[in-house]
């Protein structure tokens, strides 16, 4: 890196090497800075992937996520199914021998993907999260029935559900829940949400 490291026998001074993260604009340093996870410490032992209950359904396995971040492969990560399939069950972070906060990294990537222009690979999961937040902002609390109703009215959701046969299953489940009297028809509200939203706007730097 510096001239000190060049062997004395070398006549011409070597061109200074640029290490990953040296300029502090690499994906690695950005995510390390924002999450506080020591991603550089990963030595690819794959313990995270072995602990993960859903790694089977992931296209980029948890240990590969860490490697991808080290290599700066942003697009591949944000366009992966992994970031949406992850359950945030924190098995990976808990069992990492180097205390790499894998789940926080995946969660942060999900945050990044949501604010990016890259289309989510698991569209339904992404739309569901978004609908949840919209409902939450409307009522302050979340009601299962109204949430599902709002979710089904999102563009393309019903079509996709009919195609996969999920709609039939869901209607049967809904009926069973209705018969048991488990569904709450009228959503409960919390007035506090207006106050929280105002705080939130200020944090974002928006002027009321």
Partner 1 sequence: MKLSFYPGCSLEGMARDYSRSVVAVFQHLGIELVEIDDWSCCGATAAHSLDEMMAVTLPARNLAMADKLGLDMVTSCANCFNRLRFSQQKLREKTYDVPWKISDELQVHDMTRFAAEPAMIKRIKQRMVRPLSGLKLVCYYGCQMVRPPKITGYADYENPQTLDRIADAVGAEVLDWSYKSTCCGASIGIGRKEIQDSLTLRLLAKARQTGAEAIVVSCPLCQANLDMIQRGGGRDVLPVFYFTELLTLAFGDDKNARHWFKLRFADPLPLLLARGVMK
Smallest distance, partner 1 to C-beta of residue 19, A: 28
Site for partner 1 contains 87 (CB under 8 A): yes
Asked if residues 59 and 80 have their Cβ atoms less than 8 Å apart, the reply is yes
Site for partner 1 contains 98 (CB under 8 A): no
Q: Which of 16, 20, 173, 178 binds partner 1 (CB under 8 A)?
A: 173
Q: Which of 50, 142, 150, 154 binds partner 1 (CB under 8 A)?
A: 142
173 vs 178: CA distance, rounded Å: 8
88 vs 65: CA distance, rounded Å: 14
84 vs 97: CA distance, rounded Å: 25
182 vs 171: CA distance, rounded Å: 14
- Among residues 18 and 88, whose Cβ is nearest to partner 1? 88
Site for partner 1 contains 159 (CB under 8 A): no
Smallest distance, partner 1 to C-beta of residue 6, A: 41
- Among residues 73 and 139, whose Cβ is nearest to partner 1? 139
DSSP string, 100-156: --HHHHHHHHHHHHHTSSSPPSSHHHHHHHHHHHHHHHHHSS--HHHHHHHHHTSTT
Binding mask 56-75 for partner 1 (x = CB under 8 A): -x------------------
Segment contacting partner 1 (CB under 8 A): 4-12, 23-31, 39-47, 117-125? 117-125
- HSE toward the beta carbon, residue 136, CA cutoff 13 A: 8
Q: Which of 191, 205, 206, 208 binds partner 1 (CB under 8 A)?
A: 191
59 vs 3: CA distance, rounded Å: 43
- Among residues 45 and 176, whose Cβ is nearest to partner 1? 176
Angle at the Cα of 150 from the Cα atoms of 149 and 153, rounded to 5 degrees: 90
Asked if residues 76 and 85 have their Cβ atoms less than 8 Å apart, the reply is no
Q: Which residue has the tokens 């569904």?
A: 183
Site for partner 1 contains 125 (CB under 8 A): yes
Which spans of this chain sit near partner 1 (rule: CB under 8 A)? 53-54, 57, 85, 87-91, 93-94, 101, 103, 107-108, 110-111, 114, 122, 124-125, 128-130, 132-133, 136, 140-145, 148, 151, 166, 169, 173, 176-177, 180-184, 188, 190-193, 195-196, 199-200, 203-204
């Amino acid at each position: 890196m510096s001239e000190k490291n060049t062997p004395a026998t070398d006549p011409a001074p070597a061109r200074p090497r640029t290490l990953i993260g040296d300029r502090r604009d690499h994906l690695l340093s950005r995510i390390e800075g924002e999450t506080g996870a020591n991603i550089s410490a990963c030595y690819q032992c794959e313990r995270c992937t072995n602990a993960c209950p859903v790694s089977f359904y992931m296209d980029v396995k948890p240990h590969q996520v860490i490697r991808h971040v080290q290599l700066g492969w942003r697009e591949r990560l944000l366009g992966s199914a992994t970031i949406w399939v992850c359950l945030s069950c924190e098995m990976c972070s808990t069992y990492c021998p180097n205390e790499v906060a894998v789940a926080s990294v995946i969660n942060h990537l999900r945050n990044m993907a949501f604010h990016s222009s890259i289309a989510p690979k698991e569209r339904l999961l992404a739309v569901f999260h978004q609908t949840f937040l919209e409902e939450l902002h409307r009522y302050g609390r979340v009601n299962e029935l109204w949430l599902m109703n709002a979710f089904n009215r999102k563009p393309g959701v019903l079509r996709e559900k009919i195609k996969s046969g999920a709609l039939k299953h869901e209607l049967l489940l809904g009926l069973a829940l209705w018969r048991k009297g488990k569904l709450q028809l009228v959503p409960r509200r919390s007035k506090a949400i207006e106050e929280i939203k105002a705080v939130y706007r200020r944090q974002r730097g928006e002027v009321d």
